[in-house]
Every structure is written in C-alpha cells, then in structure tokens.
Structure 1
Amino acid sequence: MTVTADKPLRNRDRGRGVAHPTSFLRVVRSETLKFLTIPSPLVLMLCTIVVMVGLAVLMAFLTGSMSEMAADDPEMAGVPTMTAAMTVFAGVGFAQLIVGSLGVIIGSSEFTTGMARTTFTAVPRRLSVLGAKIVVLAVAVAVVTAVGALISAASVWPIAESYELGFEMWDAESLQGLWTTTAYLAAVALIGLALGILLRNAAGGIVILAALLFVLPTVLTMVPSDLLNTMATYLPDAAYAAVSGTGLDPAEAEAMGMQPSLEPWQGWLTLGGWTLLPILAAGALLRHRDI
C-alpha cells in the first residue's frame, strides 16, 4: 500500500504540477521581449539619438561662428563659448526628458493596461520584475546614449575641423563626457521608472519629472536666496554638471553671483541618491500594494 501511495506522488513531482520559481535571467529575457515589442520605447530611443545628433551639429556650427566673430572682434574675446567636445553632448538637456519619459512609460504601462496581473501571476516575486526592468532599461539607455554620442562626435568632427576648433574624438574631455552622460541618462531613466511605478500614471510621472529637471532648477536659481541657490546645486542636472566637469568653479560662480558646482564625488553621491531613493520607494510600494 505504501508503494502504491507513494508512486503517484513521485509522478506528480516529476510532472507539471510542481511550480518551479522563475529564474532572474528568464525575467530579464521576458522584460527585454516586452521592451522590444512595444512601439513607444523604440520610438523614444530613436528620438533620443535624433535630438542628441541634431543639437550637437547645431551647437557646433554656433560655436564655430562665435569663434570666428571673436577673432574679428576683440570685444568678444572674453565671451565664454562651448568647446567642440562639449557640443557633442549639447542635446543632453532634451534627451534627459525623453529617456525619463521612457522610464515612466515602462514603469506605468503594465498597470494602466492591466498586464501587471499577468506579469505578477507568472512571477510572484515582484522585486525580481523590478530588478529586471532596471537592468533592461539601464542597458537600453546606455546603448542609445553611446550610439547617439558616437554619431554626434562623427558629425561634429568635420564642422570643428572647418572652424579650426581643435576637436579630438578620443581625448580625455570627450571620454569623460561619454561615460558621465551615459551614467546620467541611465539614472534619469531609472528615476522615471520609479515615478511610473509609484504613480501608475504616465502623464503624472512625466509632469513631475519635467518639473524636477526643468522647472525646479530655474525657480531655485532665479530666486535671490542663498538657501534656495544652494538647494539647486543638489538637483540632478547640477550633479551631472559636477561629474561631467561642465559646472561653475568658485571663481566663475563668484563673478556670476551664483553658487559653485559640487565636487565630482559630491555630484556622484547626489546623483546616486536621486536614483536609489525613488527605486527603493517603488520597490517597497510594489511589494506591499495590491495590483
């Protein structure tokens, strides 16, 4: 009797009745397939490249024209201009909103469409889904940023040569701009992802993200208050200026009546905080809130 009773149990163990936990790699694969089969992420990534290249070319022409005017007019010799390497990343200001919106859409779309029920039924460990989304989104944004920067550099190079701006594609300034910009745009995308999961609403997440990236920096720097100006140096865009080396040094800040930029290590800590805290909040809410 014992053998007869145990045999069906062993057969069930070998069959499909036993639920095996889904590995993290399978979850990443699933999220990658969803990412690549939805039109909106592909469109936004293409827009990111177009914006980066278009504004880089435009700023390269503008910088070259201003350098010629400065050579002809001694009064313009002291006017600050962008370097040729800086023009490659002139489109980051607009690209950050695009990749941030991409993150918001990735984070909120499954809740608005009801697909989240299917996802969390297949993968009950919700933090695994969040981790997979983070990996897929960060890698996608990093690749898009690198492609956009390389095309921008290739487009800026002949313009810089024609204006004798002395541009080198692989010098220290260009390489620093490449990897800091890649890290920054990936961080902004993850902030957008967290906002999408927290709010479960794409429009609301994009509005808050735009306020963080564009409205707050302008308001805090325009108000004549040392406290608010200091707060502005701890916003994400100011942290990017600190780590990329494009921020104001103390002498420039004093001449312009503004707060100097953070030190690079302070900029990395600030950017890490802006990325990590929303992600942790999104993970906590995702784990305890109903679908």
Structure 2
Amino acid sequence: MTGYRITPARVVRAEWHKLWTVRSTWITLLTAAALTLGIGVTMGATYESGGNDSDMDVVVLTLIGFQLAQIAIAVLGILVTAGEYSNGMIRASMTAVPRRQPVLWSKAVVFGAASFAVILVTALVTFFAAQIFFSGTDQAASLGDPGVIRAVVGSAAGVALLGMIALGLGALVRSVPGAIGAFIGVVLVLPQVLTMLPYDVMEDVVRHFPAGALTSLNSAQPVPDAASPGVGLLSLVLWAAGVLVAAALLLRRRDV
C-alpha cells in the first residue's frame, strides 16, 4: 500500500494533470495571450510620436491588453475551483485526498505557476513585438531601461495574483457565476464606491486594493498617488493569501 500513499507531490501532479487536460484552460490562456499580443502590436503599429498617448508609460501602453487578459485569467482561476463544484468532480478530489486542504493548496500552486509563466512569456513577446513599431518614436525602449524589466515582470506577477484571488473566491463561493460577481465587486466596483466616501483615509485604503496595487506594478515610472511597487506587490500577495486561507478554513468545516 506504500505505493499509493498520498503525498504533496502526487496531489500537485494530479492537479497539474487536471488543469492541462481541461479544454477551458487552453482556450482561456490562449485568449489572454492573444488579447495582450494583439492589442500591444496594434498600439505599436498605430502609434505616432507626439500623439495623445505620448505621455503614457511605455510598459502600460504596450501591455494595455492586460486589462482584458486579467479578466480571462480570473475566470480561469474561478473555474479551477468553483468549476469542480459545478460538475461534481470535487467529490472525487476530496475522496482521494480526505484532508481536503492539500487539494486547495495544490490547485493554487499549479494555477499560480502556470498562469505566471504564460503571462510573463506573453508580456515579453508583446514588449519586443511592440518595440518593432515603437522604434524611432518617443516610446522606443529596451528591457535595460530603468524600471522596464521590473514593470514587465511585475505586471505578469500582478495578473497572476489577481487570478489567485479569483481562485480563492471560487473556493469560497463554490459557484462560478457567484464567484465572478464577487471578483468584479471586490476588484472593480468596491474601490470606486469607497473613493466616493468623504474621508481622506479612503484614498489610502483603495491604493491597497487589488486594482490599485496592480497599477503600481505595471508602470516603469513612479505613479502619482499610488503605492510603491514593493508595497503594491505585498498588498496583492496579502489579498491572495487572505482569500486562500479563508477558503481553506471553510473547506475544513463545510461539507463538500
């Protein structure tokens, strides 16, 4: 029976196999990559020096497609967890791993690593492709320029962490539509509502919400009224960790 022992490596391997054998994984990641690359190349091909976009940060302008790609990654993160509750596969997963929590941690590790790798490669390819068109303009840049490589990697890390937050929400809500609604509410709607409140402290609070933290990560130049890149990354890590820990605690107490 020792050959059938449940080990962390085997649980991770099982989740890796599940992730890449589901058609939605390939479709979603390819969609995210295509949107980022297509929009980035379009911005480069249509750019003219001195135009309306001349004051934009080069990394923000190049990776503006991440605004759509991050939604695709978030949906995939939700499908990784809430999708199993929808199709009933979660019962088989929890039967195979009775302790339950290793399943969630393995999903997070596999999804986080896969999404970050795909997004980072996409960001680098998009940057180099856009620079073919930006050459000779005021947006010409290289990875060696101050802040550029940090912003490219930071953008990829930020989008991957948003996906981790979505994965945790999927495990909490256990419903694909409900988790998507919760993600949109927390990431997009709630910060806008908080900024309307007549309290100065709300600006500092919103700065550390996921969308505000991501803003500080994806720019090569300092962003006015935004947290520093290090603080922004820490905020996203804490958001992802908090949601995942909450999901793990409820997973331990609730029935499948």
Taking structure 1 as the reference length, the TM-score comes to: 0.79
- Provide closer, same or farther for how the CA distance between residues 92 and 194 of structure 1 changes in structure 2, counting only shifts above 3 A: same
Match of residue 98 from structure 2: 124
**In 1: Cα distance, 2:202 partner to 2:28 partner:** 33
1:140 to 111, 114, 121: 114
> Which has the larger displacement, 184-193 or 163-172?
163-172
Offset, 1:69 = 4.3
Within 1, Cα distance between the matches of 2:172 and 2:81? 8
- The correspondence for 1:98, drawn from 44, 48, 72, is 72
Partner of 1:58: 42
Once the two structures are superposed, residues 135-182 of structure 1 have per-residue CA deviations (whole angstroms, 9 ceiling, x without a partner) of 110111111111211221122011101535322144343211222112
CA–CA distance in 2 between the matches of 1:220 and 1:247?
Answer: 23
Does the alignment pair 1:237 with 2:202? no
Identical counterparts, % of pairs: 29
Deviations 1:8-60 (A, max 9, x none): xxxxxxxx5x7953111111111111111111111110111011112212333
**Which aligned runs of 4 or more in structure 1 are off by greater than 6 angstroms?**
none
After superposition, the Cα gap between the structure-2 partners of 1:159 and 1:80, relative to the gap in structure 1 and judged at 3 Å, is closer
Shift, 1:243, TM fit? 3.6
The answer to whether the Cα contact below 8 Å between 1:56 and 1:87 also exists between their aligned partners in 2 is: yes
Residue identity in the other structure for 2:243: P
Higher relative CO (Cα under 8 Å, sequence separation at least 6) belongs to 2
Residue 213 of structure 2 corresponds to residue 248 of structure 1:
no
User: Is the aligned partner of 1:165 residue 2:139?
Assistant: yes
- Which whole-Å CA distance do the structure 2 matches of 1:85 and 1:267 have between them? 17
1:80 shift after superposition: 6.2
Q: Match of 1:288?
A: 253
**1:213 and 1:247, CA in 2 relative to 1: closer, same or farther beyond 3 A?**
farther
Matched, 1:208 2:208: no
Q: CA RMSD in A?
A: 2.3
Q: CA deviation at 1:217?
A: 3.4
**Cα deviations by residue, 1:97-124 (Å, 9 ceiling, x for unpaired):** 1111111110111111111111111111
CA distance in structure 2 between the aligned counterparts of 1:185 and 1:160, rounded to whole angstroms: 24
| Superposed displacement of residue 288, structure 1 | 1.6
Residue in structure 2 matched with residue 198 of structure 1 by the alignment? 172
Asked if the contact 2:59–2:152 (Cα under 8 Å) also holds between the matched residues in 1, the reply is no
Unaligned runs of 5+ in 1: 1-15, 71-78, 250-259
Q: Report the count of equivalent residues.
A: 255
Counterpart of 1:248, as a letter, is V
The 1:268/1:169 distance shift into structure 2, 3 A limit, reads closer
Partner of 1:9: none
Given the superposition, is the C-alpha separation of residues 94 and 182 from structure 1 closer, same or farther in structure 2, using an over 3 Å criterion?
same
Q: 1:223 to 1:58 in 2, by over 3 A?
A: farther
Cα deviation 1:190-227 (Å, max 9, x = unaligned):
11111111111001111111222322333334566424
C-alpha separation between the residues in 1 aligned to 2:183 and 2:232? 19
State the one-letter code of the partner of 1:288. Answer: R
1:266-277 to 2 correspondences below 5 Å:
266-277=231-242
Task: Indicate the residue corresponding to 1:279 in structure 2.
Answer: 244
Q: Is the 8 A contact 1:28 1:136 kept in 2?
A: yes
- From 258, 262, 266, give the equivalent of 2:227: 262
Matched position secondary structure for 1:276:
helix
Aligned to 1:74: none
Alignment equivalent of 1:49, drawn from 23, 30, 33: 33
1:36 is aligned to 20
Contact conserved, 1:53 with 1:91, CA < 8 A, in 2?
yes
Residue of structure 2 aligned with 1:115, choices 68, 79, 89? 89
Bigger Rg, which one: 1
Q: 1:51 to 1:247 in 2, by over 3 A?
A: farther
Extract unaligned runs of 5+ from structure 2: none
User: Normalising by structure 2, what TM-score?
Assistant: 0.89
